[in-house]
C-alpha cells in the first residue's frame, strides 16, 4: 500500500468491499497499471477496461417521446363497485372485484417532446403511465394528463412528433413547424386549445389528472363488452396549473421542480392519491352522438357518461435507483389482463404495436425479465435466448428438455378459459378512410367556453405568442379553425396577431411572456 500514489490504505475485506462484476475484490481503484509511474499503460488492465467500457455504455437510447420522467411505487385499492353497481356486471378483471383488494403499482410521469434533462416547466402534455402488478399478470394503463389527443390515426404519429420535436438543422423546437403540421390537421384544434391554456403546464406531477385517452373495453364473465374510458382524479392534493409567467419564474432557477416535488412529498409521507374513474358506454357506434366514441380527439360528455369511481391509488415509495426502475420501465397499451380489452380505436391499435417494438430496441429483447417490468406472479414461457437473458421461465417440475408446446413429455400446458370469450363480429370492406363524424371544432369551442376568464386570456396570449412568427397562411388556417370552434376565440387570436403585426402593445399581448422579455431587455439596456 502506498498512500503517496493516491491509494488509500486497504480496509479489511467485508460487506462494503469494492469488487468488479466478476466478484474480484478491487485493491486499487485510483491508479491504472503502467510501466513505471509515468506510463505507458498496458492492455491487461482488466479492472480499468471493464470499468471504462461499462461507463461508455451507461446510457440506453432515451425514449423517442416522453424522455423526461419521474417515477414512484404505490398501491391500488379496489372499491369492488363501479359507481353503485357491482363491478362484475361489466368486467371480470380480478383486480377490481373485492372491496379493499390491493394491487402494487409503479407509475411513471413524464413530459413528451424534449430530451431526458429538459425543463419540467415546458408547455407539453404530461405522461401518466401506471403498471399494475396484478395476480393475473401486469396491466399497463399508459395515459396522459389531458383527456384527448392531437390526432386520431396512428399513421400520423411519426410526422406529428417530428414537427413538434426540435428542427433537424437548428436542433431547437420551432412553432412554425409545430403549427405548420397542426394547421394541416384540423382534428388537433381541441388538443391545442387545452395545451396552450394553463392546462398545458401542470404545476407538478402530483396536482394533475390522468386519463387513458383511448377507448378500451371491459368484458364480463358472459363475454359481454362495454366501451370504457379511464380517468385518474387527484384526491387531497387537488389540481393546479401554471400561467406562462409562473412557469418562466420556476424555470429560471429550477428545471427539475416536478421530479423533486414528487420525491420530497413521498419522502415526507405526504403521499399523493388519485381516484380511478371510468366512463361507460354500450359497445356500439352510437349514431345518436355527434362524435364517434372511438375518436380520441373527443371528450365523452359527463352529463351522459358520468365518472364512476372504481378504486384509489396511493404513491408511497420512491425508487431506490432512477435508472434501474424509472429509465428501464417499459409500459405498453397491449399489456392487458383478462376482462380488459382493446376497442377498435385506430390510434390505440397503432400504439399497441409501437410500445413493445421500441422497448426491444431501447431496453433489449429481454426487457420483461427486468424486475421493474416483470410481473410479480408466476411466469412460465418457452421463450428463451436473446441478449441479456438471465433466467429461463421454467415452471416447477417442468421437464427441462421440453421448451415447446404441445408436448406429451411434461412441458407447459395451456390455461383453461376463464369466462366466455368476447368475439366481436366484423363485416366491412378493407379501406383507408377517415371515420365519419370527425366534428373537429365543436368540442374545441365547448372547451374554450368552459375555461375561466384567466384561462382564456392565457390561451389567447400563448397562442398569439407562438403563432406570430408563423407564415400568414398558417395563421389564417389556425384562425379559421378557432373561429369554427367559437367566434370569440377566433376573433381574439386574429386581433392579437394583428396587434403584433402592427407593433401595437395593447390588450392581452401586454401580458405575454414575449412582451415581458422585451420589456426586461429594454430595462437592462437602460441600466
Ligand atoms: C411513450 C408511441 C400516443 C402516452 C411512448 C413511446 C412510444 C410511443 C414509441 C416510447 C415508449 C418507450 O420507449 O418505452 C406512441 C404512438 C402513439 C402514441 C405510436 C399514437 C399512435 C399516445 C397517447 C398517449 C400516450 C394517445 C396518452 C394516452 C404515452 C406515455 C408514454 C409514451 C405516457 C411514456 C411511458 C413511460 O413513462 O415510459 N409512446 N404513443 N401516447 N406514450 Fe405514446
448 band by pLDDT with thresholds 50, 70 and 90: very high
**pLDDT over 60 (residue 5):** no
390 band by pLDDT with thresholds 50, 70 and 90: confident
Closest Cα to atom 8, ligand 1: which residue?
355
Please tell me the predicted confidence (pLDDT) of residue 11: 53
Assess whether 231 and 363 both reside in one domain: yes
- Contact in structure between 325 and 71 (CB atoms under 8 Å): yes
154 lines ligand 1 (CB under 6 A): yes
348 lines ligand 1 (CB under 6 A): no
**Interval 28-34 mean pLDDT:** 94
**pLDDT over 70 (residue 516):** no
375 lines ligand 1 (CB under 6 A): no
- Among 369, 384, 407, where does a domain finish? 369
Please tell me the predicted confidence (pLDDT) of residue 216: 98
Closest Cα to atom 16, ligand 1: which residue?
351
Best residue among 153, 202, 319, 355 to mutate for probing ligand 1, ranked by most atoms within 8 Å of CB: 355
Assess whether 103 and 238 both reside in one domain: yes
**DSSP E strands: which ranges in 402-441?**
none
pTM score, whole prediction: 0.92
- Among 369, 402, 419, where does a domain finish? 369
Closest Cα to atom 33, ligand 1: which residue?
127
Q: What is the mean pLDDT of the chain?
A: 93
Best residue among 65, 156, 162 to mutate for probing ligand 1, ranked by most atoms within 8 Å of CB: 65
23 band by pLDDT with thresholds 50, 70 and 90: confident
Find the range with the poorest average confidence among 1-5, 326-330, 382-386, 418-422: 1-5
355 is in an annotated binding site: yes
Q: What does the alpha-carbon distance between residue 225 and residue 284 come to, in Å, rounded to a whole number?
A: 10
12 band by pLDDT with thresholds 50, 70 and 90: low
- Contact in structure between 378 and 395 (CB atoms under 8 Å): yes
Best residue among 62, 63, 154 to mutate for probing ligand 1, ranked by most atoms within 8 Å of CB: 63
Q: Give distance in angstroms: CA of 89 to centre of ligand 1.
A: 31
- ipTM computed for the complex: 0.97
454 within domain boundaries = yes
Closest Cα to atom 18, ligand 1: which residue?
351
280 within domain boundaries = yes
- CA-213 nearest atom, ligand 1: 28
Q: Give distance in angstroms: CA of 65 to centre of ligand 1.
A: 7
**pLDDT over 80 (residue 389):** yes
Assess whether 160 and 260 both reside in one domain: yes
**pLDDT over 80 (residue 510):** no
44 within domain boundaries = no
pLDDT tens readout for residues 207-245: 999 999 999 999 999 999 999 999 999 999 999 999 999
**Interval 202-209 mean pLDDT:** 98
Closest Cα to atom 37, ligand 1: which residue?
108
- Among 354, 369, 384, where does a domain finish? 369
Query: What DSSP assignment string belongs to 121-172?
Result: TSSS-EEEEEEEEETTEEEEEEEESSSS-S-S-GGGHHHHHHHHSPPTTT-S
Q: Among residues 166, 193, 192, which one has the least CA distance to residue 177? A: 166
Please tell me the predicted confidence (pLDDT) of residue 386: 92
69 lines ligand 1 (CB under 6 A): yes
**What residues are annotated to the active site?**
66, 144
**pLDDT over 80 (residue 135):** yes
CATH of the domain at 307: 2.40.180.10
Assess whether 362 and 459 both reside in one domain: no
93 within domain boundaries = yes
Assess whether 251 and 334 both reside in one domain: yes
355 within domain boundaries = yes
Please tell me the predicted confidence (pLDDT) of residue 468: 97
Assess whether 459 and 351 both reside in one domain: no
Assess whether 467 and 320 both reside in one domain: no
Q: Which residues of 270-281 are buried (b: 16+ CB within 10 A; e: fewer)?
A: ebbbbbbbbbbb
Question: Residue 469 sits in which domain range?
Answer: 441-503
Best residue among 64, 66, 185, 361 to mutate for probing ligand 1, ranked by most atoms within 8 Å of CB: 66
63 within domain boundaries = no
pLDDT tens readout for residues 37-65: 998 898 889 899 998 898 998 999 999 99
Q: What is the DSSP letter of 200?
A: G
Q: Give distance in angstroms: CA of 5 to centre of ligand 1.
A: 51
**Interval 196-217 mean pLDDT:** 98
Question: How many domains, in total, are found in the chain?
Answer: 2
Assess whether 222 and 320 both reside in one domain: yes
Closest Cα to atom 10, ligand 1: which residue?
63
Q: What does the alpha-carbon distance between residue 32 and residue 194 come to, in Å, rounded to a whole number?
A: 57
512 band by pLDDT with thresholds 50, 70 and 90: very low
Q: Give distance in angstroms: CA of 50 to centre of ligand 1.
A: 35
pLDDT tens readout for residues 302-349: 999 999 999 999 999 999 999 999 999 999 999 999 999 999 999 999
**Interval 458-478 mean pLDDT:** 98
Assess whether 233 and 136 both reside in one domain: yes
218 lines ligand 1 (CB under 6 A): no
- CA-153 nearest atom, ligand 1: 21
Question: Distance of CA 460 to CAs 198, 347, 477, 501, Å?
Answer: 11, 29, 16, 15
pLDDT tens readout for residues 489-507: 999 999 999 999 998 554 4
226 within domain boundaries = yes
| Positive or negative: CA dihedral 486, 466, 516, 255 | positive
Assess whether 487 and 364 both reside in one domain: no
524 band by pLDDT with thresholds 50, 70 and 90: very low
482 within domain boundaries = yes
**Interval 199-206 mean pLDDT:** 98
- Contact in structure between 295 and 212 (CB atoms under 8 Å): no
110 lines ligand 1 (CB under 6 A): yes
**pLDDT over 50 (residue 522):** no
Assess whether 358 and 218 both reside in one domain: yes
**pLDDT over 70 (residue 525):** no
- Contact in structure between 210 and 274 (CB atoms under 8 Å): yes
Q: Give distance in angstroms: CA of 355 to centre of ligand 1.
A: 7
314 lines ligand 1 (CB under 6 A): no
**pLDDT over 60 (residue 182):** yes
Amino acid at each position: 500500500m502506498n498512500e503517496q500514489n493516491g491509494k488509500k490504505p486497504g480496509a479489511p475485506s467485508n460487506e462494503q468491499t469494492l469488487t468488479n462484476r466478476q466478484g474480484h475484490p478491487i485493491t486499487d481503484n485510483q491508479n491504472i497499471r503502467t510501466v513505471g509511474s509515468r506510463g505507458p499503460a498496458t492492455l491487461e488492465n482488466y479492472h480499468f477496461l471493464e470499468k471504462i467500457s461499462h461507463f461508455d455504455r451507461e446510457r440506453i437510447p432515451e425514449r423517442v417521446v416522453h424522455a423526461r420522467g419521474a417515477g414512484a411505487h404505490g398501491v391500488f385499492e379496489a372499491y369492488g363497485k363501479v359507481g353503485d353497481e357491482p363491478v362484475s356486471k361489466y368486467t371480470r378483471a380480478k383486480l377490481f372485484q373485492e372491496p379493499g383488494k390491493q394491487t402494487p403499482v409503479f407509475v411513471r410521469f413524464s413530459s413528451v417532446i424534449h430530451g431526458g434533462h429538459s425543463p419540467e416547466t415546458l408547455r407539453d402534455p404530461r405522461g401518466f403511465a401506471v403498471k399494475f402488478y396484478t395476480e393475473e399478470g401486469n396491466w399497463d394503463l399508459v395515459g396522459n394528463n389531458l383527456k384527448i389527443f392531437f390526432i386520431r390515426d396512428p399513421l400520423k404519429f411519426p410526422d406529428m412528433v417530428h414537427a413538434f420535436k426540435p428542427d433537424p438543422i437548428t436542433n431547437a423546437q420551432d412553432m412554425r413547424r409545430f403549427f405548420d403540421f397542426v394547421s394541416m390537421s384540423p382534428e388537433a384544434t381541441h388538443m391545442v386549445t387545452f395545451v396552450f391554456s394553463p392546462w398545458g403546464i401542470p404545476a407538478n406531477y402530483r396536482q394533475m389528472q390522468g386519463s387513458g385517452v383511448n377507448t378500451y373495453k371491459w368484458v364480463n364473465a358472459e363475454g359481454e363488452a362495454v366501451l370504457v374510458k379511464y380517468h385518474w382524479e387527484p384526491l387531497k392534493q387537488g389540481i393546479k396549473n401554471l400561467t406562462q409567467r409562473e412557469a418562466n419564474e420556476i424555470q429560471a432557477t429550477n428545471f427539475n421542480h416536478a421530479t423533486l416535488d414528487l420525491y420530497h412529498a413521498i419522502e415526507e409521507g405526504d403521499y399523493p392519491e388519485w381516484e380511478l374513474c371510468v366512463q361507460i358506454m354500450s359497445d356500439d357506434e352510437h349514431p345518436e352522438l355527434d362524435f364517434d366514441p372511438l375518436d380520441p380527439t373527443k371528450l365523452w360528455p359527463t352529463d351522459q357518461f358520468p365518472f364512476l369511481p372504481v378504486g384509489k391509488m396511493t404513491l408511497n415509495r420512491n425508487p431506490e435507483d432512477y435508472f434501474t426502475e424509472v429509465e428501464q420501465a417499459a409500459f405498453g397499451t397491449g399489456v392487458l389482463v383478462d376482462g380488459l380489452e382493446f376497442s377498435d380505436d385506430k390510434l390505440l391499435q397503432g400504439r399497441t404495436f409501437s410500445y413493445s417494438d421500441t422497448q426491444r430496441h431501447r431496453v433489449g429483447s429481454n426487457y420483461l425479465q427486468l424486475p421493474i417490468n416483470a410481473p410479480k406472479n408466476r411466469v412460465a414461457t418457452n421463450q428463451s435466448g436473446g441478449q441479456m437473458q438471465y433466467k429461463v421461465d421454467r415452471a416447477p417440475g417442468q421437464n427441462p428438455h421440453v421448451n415447446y408446446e404441445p408436448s406429451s413429455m411434461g412441458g407447459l400446458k395451456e390455461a383453461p378459459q376463464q369466462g366466455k370469450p368476447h368475439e366481436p363480429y366484423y363485416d366491412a370492406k378493407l379501406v383507408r378512410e377517415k371515420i365519419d363524424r370527425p366534428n373537429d371544432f365543436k368540442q374545441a369551442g365547448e372547451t374554450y367556453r368552459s375555461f375561466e376568464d384567466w384561462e382564456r386570456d392565457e390561451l389567447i396570449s400563448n397562442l398569439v405568442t407562438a403563432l406570430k412568427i408563423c407564415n400568414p397562411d398558417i395563421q389564417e388556417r389556425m384562425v379559421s379553425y378557432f373561429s369554427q370552434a367559437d367566434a370569440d376565440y377566433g376573433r381574439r387570436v386574429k386581433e392579437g396577431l394583428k396587434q403584433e403585426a402592427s407593433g401595437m402593445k395593447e390588450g392581452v399581448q401586454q401580458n405575454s411572456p414575449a412582451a415581458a422579455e422585451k420589456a426586461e431587455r429594454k430595462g437592462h439596456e437602460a441600466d
